[in-house]
Structure 1
């Protein structure tokens, strides 16, 4: 029988191709022979990648999830260069090396032109096999990959008897009856030599979140949170060997995460807390009834084909489609009239933003003597639409915002269509047994089409009958072309350690929806006449390119391992947020720092390790370098852990310290130090886990809570209404079994 030689594409079984048990990304101890795809888009040993690579395996994910952490918190704990993860729905500001990361599931991008920060509100950890992370800018993946790559690889079926996995868990801080969350999950997998498949379903129901004093954390009415949230993740895949040299993998996912309660933030009668009439009148109350509830709903389907011998090449092809619908919390845009009422033009609304993305990726690889050639093309088409639901203002005012009854729907942002075509070439040359050079080029063409659009505020006025009509800001088309280059070298000092140097470029188009469609009007005769507006013809959005240089060293030995990298990244444009809109300024920016991880195993059952990311972001203003705004700057962090285990037990004590950052305007993000304790015990059937998060009940404000205060206060209400506290000590009990 012919031996199958195919190496499956990104979504397939890189885990099964890895040598020796993969080790924790938290301890930087992944095997240097382990295969990853984030560095070159085709399976490559870590030791051959001229860049900082981290692998978070299934065991790491399961251990951290047993301490109550969400996916973004797990990655923030285990990946040094990635900022600590918030506890709400948003991952706004969770940058990698101070810049945006490209997040993917099985190689399919979760990023969109509208940079809504919900990439990690997309999959349950139960369905994840492993996560590969490449720190720093990269040319091979194109748009959005300015800070790094995070590729979430889902679990797949394997040949053999039918296998089942079950999981049940609950968590509480033992405050009141709402302080209880639980999770249930089930999977079935199996197959034969020809066909393998898996189906996994994960369900979670959250209660309220409580701080260190036992008080409920205020619901996030800006980006929404996960209190009283219900989520379900259904993921299935089927792998088929078409013959000995061809394979097809099909993966489909449906994910729904939405508010499912009746408790919310009370804004005071007539929104008095927002208008400043009575800033202390906000409260947490029952009685919520929204016609549009905060939610994330998405689906994804991908087909992956591989053939071993196509014109002497290995051929990889992926076709995919992804759709998502994101709902936000109702928000009051209100002003007081001086006599206890609301001024005309006040309104209560919530946005719904939809993205549809489809595309295809083609890759050919060929190995020659001392050379490796990879080339291909990526194509994608994205459609973005956004509406804003208006609610009955009088009823909302009477209930302090707890009731949101639909009255009308208007446009929130201009419709946006983006087509991206990007051929690429990557060449690797083994100069000597010790030295390997690599280089590549990506030529990216981005066609953007923006629809005609009436400024949102004037659409609301038309809906309210304040004016009869308003002129539209004309849309148009704009094409961006960019060459992205990468150059790298890896030198093996010996069989267990390498040094590397790397230069790479990445690019991004900053949020067209937040740029276009804003206008200045003059109202005459009941009509709003356009004076000027932000349009493609008058003020086209600029693309931003990031360049990065990196020097690194890594080693993996029996008793210890480590990885260290120094980096410097820069751009000639600054992307900033002003009045909740995106602006692009002709200011140079730079991020530089040190990213490191180490682990020491003094005995067979013990591991001691930690990571650090020391980083600084700066903007050049009037010839001087200034500290970057804390609304976007990364917080330096240090983590550490002690792990003891034997064949039946594991105990892990871990801590994270975030270091204060401050900007030129005097705004500050205050750090924190928190600890977790995790214990696992194997039973005759299954395993039980007990986790205690925030072990010492540290009192702190979340990073997003501190940023939210800067964004929304005092313009939209008192500071206390947006300062979201961290969760107090919480106990998590989980039982899992494979059979």
Structure 2
């Protein structure tokens, strides 16, 4: 995590900010997108998540965390995936569930908006696969803004995560290679491997990069050496194959104008032949007991995430005397699930698997103007359209029963949820006033308008309704000139609950009679950060509240309840540097989520939705010549118990990563779950609450964590 190293921040007007192709590549908020310069130092680190325009961290009145390549690399060496790495590096973000889903990985107890180069990966249909979206090889850095934000669209009630991808970095011709293998040394199939290659380069006017990353996952085993039972609810990554192809082209059109084009093809899906065998499907009294994992699995629909995305960004440094940014994008996504056992009318079980398609297109325009030496104004408009449809494949019951669920053959496809279209039109304005050398005031407003059109579904009439939300923010930031800063902030966020799972649940729920309610979140925050020669710290106290809450019914349909919800807590990080290359650090997030009951009393929120408090600590060392490094890290999730005495048990794990420079490239060795702790993942414990007993016994859903695993890697840039 990086902060400016100077005792007092560098201050300059927006008109005099360096607008080279690399520096303007940060773009802005809902456009936070073009990648920053590869050689950016801590002293001039600039981000876009805090203000929608490139700004130094020291000028942002809020908790901002920047995860650079080195931070990510240290986590990946120990075998972490992207969501796991971020959960251990960003204090306000929950520790990650293992598997494909990131359901419940909230920030400050609420939902997170995830973006790639400013293009949102969130959808109105709440499919929690935002991190099943990119190979870390293609990530330049990750910018994180904690807390509700009125500067962005729906979904940013808990925070923002903007993944900035690598671009062509300098003139000439350059290549980079990474490869790794991971195993827990259990059975022969306990082996995963990864290979990635990129080519980049260009001239002073044109730079480009193209890359391909490939990963093949084997089976996973817990600390007792037992094969982990698959996550049949949200799917996992055992037997998964991932391919991520990305390309970008940066063109300096004129001294004041630049254009950036980027595209991605992402395919992450199950390719194995092991599945769940249910021995009692064809019994006199069918049940889901005694299930086990076996070879011989085949299905006409397998778990997968497929994404195609294009992103065009244009900048003019002096249009009508202002900076002008324009972004156009399109994202197509297909999310498939695996065969899942539903209770059948005859008392047995029938297997079905859904496939959900989302298309998102948008245009974002922004002007950034200096009205005076101390006053600036940012304003613009966001336009987007999201379309959604879903199908459900039914599998031949006789074949499923006879094979114990190992063979799933297509017997027909029907709509799964009502199709819908969401059109968004929003305008925003944000002003910043430098009152004195130390005091900065800012305020802004966003007017959010959304039209939702839902189609008829299984006899349930569709219809149209619209939503309008006025979102405000105001803040004060004081710089003491000695490395210390304090801020006070108020901000509002907005989210639209899942239309598909709300309107498709019964004939009694229709657009005309039961319009879906939107949810607005208010938040206040007080924070402090300090950057000295040897210290890097940041901390914030926050309180967020809303008048409504989203809950799931027994059949997992969505309900919006008129009950007040609040989340409050503390997040902070401390890092200490020593002259001999030693580093010590810790993060802490203490959060409490509450909801008012029918009697008007505050009580602990349902354990299925509430966030767990967490903490990390590490000791690291880097040789002065950069030839070798080591890092030992502990992560702890605290226990959680709700008002109904449902409990999620926490855990503590240790991870180790080592690296050594070679005459050719660098080799690394990582050990995840070093002490081989046996525990159930947070998602596994929540899934048991969600799906059992309605969809079967708890053991089917209690997804276990991986035991000790080793990752050996090699990389080289040349």
* Consecutive aligned runs of 4 or more in structure 1 exceeding 6 Å deviation: none
Alignment of 1:322-401 (within 5 A): 322-335=331-344, 342-343=347-348, 346-367=349-370, 368-401=372-405
Alignment of 1:444-455 (within 5 A): 444-454=448-458
Residues 707-735 of structure 1: CA deviation (Å, up to 9, x unaligned): 01101112222211211111000000000
**Structure 2 regions of 5+ residues with no counterpart?**
1-17
> Residue 277 of structure 1 contacts residue 336 of structure 1 at CA under 8 Å; is this kept in 2?
no
Equivalent residue in structure 2 for 1:248, among 253, 259, 271: 259
User: What SS does structure 2 have at the residue aligned with 1:185?
Assistant: strand
> Residue 159 of structure 1 contacts residue 195 of structure 1 at CA under 8 Å; is this kept in 2?
no
> Residue 224 of structure 2 contacts residue 707 of structure 2 at CA under 8 Å; is this kept in 1?
yes
- 1:614 aligns to 2:623 (yes or no): no
1:626 — aligned with what? 603
Superposed displacement of residue 584, structure 1: 0.6
The structure-2 alpha-carbon separation of the partners of 1:279 and 1:392, relative to structure 1 and needing over 3 Å to count, comes to closer
2:301 — aligned with what? 292
Superposed displacement of residue 602, structure 1: 3.2
- 1:713 aligns to 2:689 (yes or no): no
CA distance in 2: counterparts of 1:255 and 1:13, whole angstroms: 20
Superposed displacement of residue 555, structure 1: 0.7
CA distance in 2: counterparts of 1:598 and 1:504, whole angstroms: 25
Equivalent residue in structure 1 for 2:492, among 467, 483, 505: 505
1:546 — aligned with what? 521
Equivalent residue in structure 2 for 1:264, among 267, 275, 278: 275
Equivalent residue in structure 1 for 2:427, among 408, 413, 423: 423
Alignment of 1:57-206 (within 5 A): 57-206=68-217
Equivalent residue in structure 2 for 1:694, among 667, 673, 680: 673
Residues 84-125 of structure 1: CA deviation (Å, up to 9, x unaligned): 111100000000000001100000000001000000000000
Residues 178-210 of structure 1: CA deviation (Å, up to 9, x unaligned): 100000000000000110000111000000010
CA distance in 1: counterparts of 2:591 and 2:475, whole angstroms: 23
CA distance in 1: counterparts of 2:444 and 2:354, whole angstroms: 41
Superposed displacement of residue 604, structure 1: 3.1
CA distance in 2: counterparts of 1:611 and 1:392, whole angstroms: 51
- 1:14 aligns to 2:36 (yes or no): yes
> Residue 38 of structure 2 contacts residue 169 of structure 2 at CA under 8 Å; is this kept in 1?
no
Residues 389-418 of structure 1: CA deviation (Å, up to 9, x unaligned): 111011001111111111111110000100
> Residue 231 of structure 1 contacts residue 255 of structure 1 at CA under 8 Å; is this kept in 2?
yes
- 1:231 aligns to 2:242 (yes or no): yes
Comparing 260-269 and 306-315, the one that deviates more = 260-269
- 1:581 aligns to 2:557 (yes or no): yes
User: What SS does structure 2 have at the residue aligned with 1:417?
Assistant: strand
The structure-2 alpha-carbon separation of the partners of 1:319 and 1:271, relative to structure 1 and needing over 3 Å to count, comes to farther
2:6 — aligned with what? none
> Residue 269 of structure 1 contacts residue 398 of structure 1 at CA under 8 Å; is this kept in 2?
no
> Residue 266 of structure 1 contacts residue 282 of structure 1 at CA under 8 Å; is this kept in 2?
yes
CA distance in 2: counterparts of 1:625 and 1:697, whole angstroms: 39
User: What SS does structure 2 have at the residue aligned with 1:478?
Assistant: strand
Superposed displacement of residue 159, structure 1: 2.9
CA distance in 1: counterparts of 2:35 and 2:452, whole angstroms: 36
Comparing 481-490 and 60-69, the one that deviates more = 60-69
> Residue 14 of structure 1 contacts residue 43 of structure 1 at CA under 8 Å; is this kept in 2?
no
Equivalent residue in structure 2 for 1:318, among 296, 308, 327: 327
Residues 321-358 of structure 1: CA deviation (Å, up to 9, x unaligned): 00100000111113596xxxx45xx5211000000000
CA distance in 1: counterparts of 2:373 and 2:578, whole angstroms: 42
Alignment of 1:507-586 (within 5 A): 507-519=494-506, 532-579=507-554, 580-586=556-562
Superposed displacement of residue 146, structure 1: 0.2
**Alignment RMSD:** 1.4
CA distance in 1: counterparts of 2:635 and 2:189, whole angstroms: 28
Residues 419-465 of structure 1: CA deviation (Å, up to 9, x unaligned): 000000000000000000000000010000000000xxxxxxxxxxx
1:477 — aligned with what? 464
Superposed displacement of residue 666, structure 1: 1.3
Superposed displacement of residue 497, structure 1: 1.7
CA distance in 2: counterparts of 1:119 and 1:401, whole angstroms: 29
CA distance in 2: counterparts of 1:334 and 1:445, whole angstroms: 40
1:605 — aligned with what? 581
The structure-2 alpha-carbon separation of the partners of 1:736 and 1:238, relative to structure 1 and needing over 3 Å to count, comes to same
CA distance in 1: counterparts of 2:480 and 2:564, whole angstroms: 37
CA distance in 2: counterparts of 1:376 and 1:535, whole angstroms: 35
1:461 — aligned with what? none
CA distance in 2: counterparts of 1:169 and 1:271, whole angstroms: 44
CA distance in 1: counterparts of 2:606 and 2:543, whole angstroms: 18
The structure-2 alpha-carbon separation of the partners of 1:200 and 1:682, relative to structure 1 and needing over 3 Å to count, comes to same
Superposed displacement of residue 11, structure 1: 2.6
The structure-2 alpha-carbon separation of the partners of 1:491 and 1:398, relative to structure 1 and needing over 3 Å to count, comes to same
Superposed displacement of residue 34, structure 1: 1.5
| TM-score normalised by L of structure 2 | 0.94
| TM-score normalised by L of structure 1 | 0.92
> Residue 17 of structure 1 contacts residue 35 of structure 1 at CA under 8 Å; is this kept in 2?
no
Superposed displacement of residue 5, structure 1: 5.4
**Structure 1 regions of 5+ residues with no counterpart?**
23-30, 455-471, 520-531
CA distance in 2: counterparts of 1:377 and 1:711, whole angstroms: 40
> Residue 276 of structure 1 contacts residue 717 of structure 1 at CA under 8 Å; is this kept in 2?
no
1:590 — aligned with what? 566
The structure-2 alpha-carbon separation of the partners of 1:606 and 1:115, relative to structure 1 and needing over 3 Å to count, comes to same
1:731 — aligned with what? 710
Alignment of 1:25-36 (within 5 A): 31=43, 33-36=44-47
